[in-house]
Structure 1
Amino acid sequence: MGLNEAPLLFNFEVESSENFTFIPMSVRFNLDRFGLRISLQQWQLLPLEDRKLLARFPVEEDAEIEPNFDHALFEMLRTHANVEPEWFTPEEAPAWRRTDSVPEGIAHQAQLAGIAAPGVARWAELAPFKRYVLAKLSRKPEANHDFVPAMKEFGAAG
């Protein structure tokens, strides 16, 4: 599977990523999948075209992992920031992969926002990448400004 023709950004991310000043969800997904961590400062040291390229890597959960994401990231960081990403062991069974229950963080974020959390059936219908995004946006106890726009964009708002 090759790169997407354009960087993968959801509508709610276009404004919040501020032209790739912040790390898009597609890049976060691949970082988590490969067990790599970079700081916002490291991300911002990369040229805009490199950031856009990283956002073009595929995010299909069942697809063969694009083998060059990690190599591209290492080379870009080495060239432009003289650093390497930090390694971590990816979670084996993250809550977003489950389709039989909605993660607690999502219910909490929905409650903070005054909206209904998606039911189990609606949660199960969401594409894995969309479930990942909602789980990522709801991992902290305080309200996330992108959560409601993402819920609406994904058709998951109650």
Structure 2
Amino acid sequence: MGLHESPLMFDFEAVSSENLKFMPMSVRFNLDRFGLRISLAQWQSLPHADRVLLARFPVDEDTAIEPNFDHALFEMMRTHANVEPDWFAPEPNPAWRETSVVPDGVQNQCRIAGFEPVEAARWAGLDPFKRYVLTKLSRKPDGNHDFVPAMREFGLADLARP
């Protein structure tokens, strides 16, 4: 699978990423799947064209499909920031891959936002990347400003309490 024609971003990110000033979820996904970490300052040190390119990479779980994300990132970071990304061991079984149980963080964000809990069947029906996004947005105990817009965009707004 090749690069997308344009940056892979959800509608809710168009506002919050401010024209790629902040890392879109597609880049976060690829960083996590390759076990790479860069700071926001490092991301922002990259030229806009490089950030666009990184946001065009596919979000498939199979790292063999598009192994060039990590190579591109390393080259960009060396060229523009004179540093390399930090490595970490990716979580072998992240919560978003589990389809039978909705992560506690997602349910907590639902409570905070006034949504009914997400049922396991609806969770299982979500695209894996959308499960990743909701889990990533739910990793902290306090409310996330992108969680409600993401729930709406992913078709889960009907879970809102009246």
Q: Same fold (TM over 0.5)?
A: yes
- Measured after TM superposition, the shift of residue 115 of structure 1 is 1.1
Q: With structure 2 as the length reference, what TM-score do the two structures score? A: 0.95
Alignment pair present for 1:132 and 2:129 = no
Which residue identity lines up with residue 52 of structure 1 in the other structure? V
User: Aligned partners of 2:95 and 2:153: how far apart in 1?
Assistant: 21
Structure 1 equivalent of residue 101 of structure 2: 101
- Measured after TM superposition, the shift of residue 63 of structure 1 is 7.0
SS at match of 1:19: coil
SS at match of 1:59: coil
Aligned-residue CA RMSD (Å)? 1.0
Q: Can you give the 5+ residue segments of structure 1 that lack an aligned partner in the other structure?
A: none
Q: Aligned pairs, how many?
A: 158
Matching of residues 138-153 of structure 1 within 5 Å: 138-153=138-153
Q: 1:147 to 1:46 in 2, by over 3 A?
A: same
> Residues 119-143 of structure 1, C-alpha deviation per residue, up to 9 Å, x if partnerless?
1111000000000000000000110
Contact 1:123 1:156 in 2 (8 A): no
Structure 2 equivalent of residue 73 of structure 1: 73
Q: With structure 1 as the length reference, what TM-score do the two structures score? A: 0.97
User: Aligned partners of 2:44 and 2:102: how far apart in 1?
Assistant: 33
> Residues 87-129 of structure 1, C-alpha deviation per residue, up to 9 Å, x if partnerless?
0000000010000010000000010111123211110000000
> Residues 59-97 of structure 1, C-alpha deviation per residue, up to 9 Å, x if partnerless?
022574411100000000100010110000000000100
Matching of residues 16-27 of structure 1 within 5 Å: 16-27=16-27
Alignment pair present for 1:28 and 2:16 = no
Structure 1 equivalent of residue 57 of structure 2: 57
